[in-house]
Amino acid sequence: MVLSNNYIISTLQMSKEEKKVKRRDFLFTASYVVGAVGIGAVIWPMIDQMNPDKAQKALATTEVDISQIEPGKSITVLWRGKPVFLKRRTPEEIQEARAVSLDDLPDPQKDEERVKEGKDEWLVMLGVCTHLGCVPLKDKGDYNGWFCPCHGSHYDVSGRVRKGPAPTNMEIPKFEFVDNNTIKIG
Amino acid sequence: MSEHEYVPKSKAAKWFNDRLPLLTLGAHLTDYPTPKNLNYWWTFGGILTFCLITQIVTGIVLAMHYVAHADLAFGSVEHIMRNVNYGWLIRYIHSNGASMFFLAVYIHIFRSLFYGSYKSPREIIWILGLLIYLLMMAAAFLGYVLPWGQMSFWGATVITNLFSAIPLVGDSITTWLWGAYSVDNPTLNRFFSLHYLFPFLILGLVVLHIWALHIPGNNNPVGIDIKKPSKDTVPFHPYITIKDAFALLMFMIIFAGFVFFSPNVLGHSDNYIPANPLVTPAHIVPEWYLLPFYAILRSVPDKLGGVILMFSAIFILFVLPWLDTSKVRSAVFRPIYRQFFWILVIDVLMLGYVGAMPAEGVYLALARVGTIYYFLHFIVVLPVVGLLEKTDPIPMSISEPVITGGAEPSLARKINEKV
């Protein structure tokens, strides 16, 4: 009784001096914060379970034998479920790629930056259109490179976008030459 | 809501109804006063309910035979088609049922546009309907991925890549959706789970949609407020139920026509080729019901811009009740709006057509014109026409034009008096 009377008196006083923080306000806020942290802690595992699992991450590298590829030819291999184009370019094609002015490119990038130094004939890139993820067709399009049949993006002989809705050049994955005949992607 | 208090006849029924008033609800649904002039465009609500239940029932049955695994999914669908008893029938009902569902929902939406059913006080009904429509598109997309054919795979790739257009976090979101670094087995597995979930979310929204409808009651072809119950209304049962049932039978004839005589005409033959991540089909198109939005997406030569415009085309419908400034609901009394309505219908059909064609030359030009007009209709035409249009006189009640043989100007009230 004494306590509740005190409480009533104190609330009456409080209502006069408005905005003063009460013990009860603190308890409410503290409860909301603890509740929010708790909910967040439970929701995060629910969200993160949809990210690539350990088995998916384990497929991170692929080794490719490139000894059979003639100049001017290309092969396609699967890496992390995505196609990777390995093209052995002819000197003319390399020349053509390097003759392009950077001003003509929607996503300016030199051909030199897209290949490994001293291995200029090898173009290794993700065969995935940067628009909406289709696989472009080789030796098609207006620029002697690739053409995406889905929404009409044109890529040149260096895999750089030249025309169409694709925002960027086809991506160069992380790769290295294990020896002269083998490339490791990833 | 009906005015009278329902009292069950038997003692047992009364006992039950006092504890859970299901019988009151049943009586409300039976007696629900409905405008007596509803035409056949108003039967699509019932038809859509039928479509939803058909999809849920056939879907549950298909899930008993389908295997959601990248290596087995395509084979399991063929297993359903060849080995499962009546599997071919159930699957064809389910796949064509999706198309029938969209056919009905488009008629339902355009009926609302013509008769102004989205206007006050029915905005929430309209918004709930749009949410249902959004979930329908999501469910249809997810379902289309499950057979794991070429169109399934590449459709999934293109649609999930739409999210990669989001600046900064786009790629992380796409990878999160995939559960892999491309559309792969984890993607298929979760799509199956969500495809099973969404119809039940739709069902919940349908309950809210009908609940919200029963607050103001149905709009009607004349578009005026009516007293309920009155000589302008009839009880839902048997008058509307029998009309809905007849329309549903007609609809089922068309449905059965597709299922039994051309079950694959609305699909793509490429989807009978197993998914191959190395080869994209030469010509990727979504299902017919998504084509207008696909045309809008492709009409923009910029990735992010195209995605934003495509989603805007849907989300602009959410603010439609506030874009339309006209106080008169029904296009029957709106001579100018009526013409723009039909232009919009033609525009959307044209967008659907060019969405199925390659994005080049004249098709691209048409897609751009169609896209611009689509947005103009909602942002410019609707607000301006609503303000400037001289509407025809509208009748005092539904009975009046019938009894007097037309909307006599002497009987009609001015539009702003009591709408």
Of the partner residues A50, A148, A151, the one whose CB lies closest to the CB of residue B179? A50
Over its length of 419 residues, how does chain B's per-residue pLDDT go in tens digits?
444 578 999 999 999 999 999 999 999 999 999 999 999 999 999 999 999 999 999 999 999 999 999 999 999 999 999 999 999 999 999 999 999 999 999 999 999 999 999 999 999 999 999 999 999 999 999 999 999 999 999 999 999 998 988 999 999 999 999 999 999 999 999 999 999 999 999 999 999 999 999 999 999 999 999 988 888 999 999 999 999 999 999 999 999 999 999 999 999 999 999 999 999 888 888 999 999 999 999 898 888 999 999 999 999 999 999 999 999 999 999 999 999 999 999 999 999 999 999 877 899 999 999 999 999 999 999 999 999 999 998 888 888 765 555 444 444 444 444 44
Cβ–Cβ below 8 Å for A50 and B298:
no
Of the partner residues A78, A133, A164, the one whose CB lies closest to the CB of residue B158? A133
Residues of chain A with Cβ-Cβ distance to B357 below 8 Å are none
Catalytic residues of A, which ones?
151
Q: Which of the 8 DSSP states describes residue B44?
A: H
| pLDDT computed for residue B99 by the predictor | 97
Q: Report d(CA A35, CA A135) in Å as an integer.
A: 47
User: Could you tell me if A164 lies within 8 Å of chain B, comparing CB atoms?
Assistant: yes
Closest-CA residue of B relative to A164 is: B301
Place of tokens 């692929």: A62
Residues of chain B with Cβ-Cβ distance to A74 below 8 Å are none
Q: Report d(CA B222, CA B36) in Å as an integer.
A: 11
Using CA atoms, how far residue B48 sits from A36, B105, B224, B312, B410, in Å, is 40, 7, 25, 25, 41
Angstroms from A27 CA to nearest CA on chain B: 36
Chain B residues within 8 Å of chain A (Cβ atoms)? 154, 157-158, 160-162, 164, 175-184, 186, 190, 277-284, 298, 300-304, 306, 358-360
Burial of B6 (0-12, 13-18, 19+ CB in 10 A): middle
Burial of A86 (0-12, 13-18, 19+ CB in 10 A): buried
User: Could you tell me if A75 lies within 8 Å of chain B, comparing CB atoms?
Assistant: no
B301: tokens are 């030569």
Cβ–Cβ below 8 Å for A164 and B280:
no
pLDDT digits (tens, 9 = 90+) for A119-150: 888 899 999 999 888 899 888 888 888 998 88
Of the partner residues B180, B300, B359, the one whose CB lies closest to the CB of residue A81? B180
**Model pTM above 0.90:** no
Angstroms from B35 CA to nearest CA on chain A: 48
A8: tokens are 């009533």
Across A103-129, b (16+ Cβ under 10 Å) vs e yields eebeeebebeebbeeeebbbbbbbbbb
Residues B282, B150: contact at Cβ < 8 Å? no
> H-helix or E-strand containing A138?
strand A137-140
Q: Report d(CA A107, CA B139) in Å as an integer.
A: 36
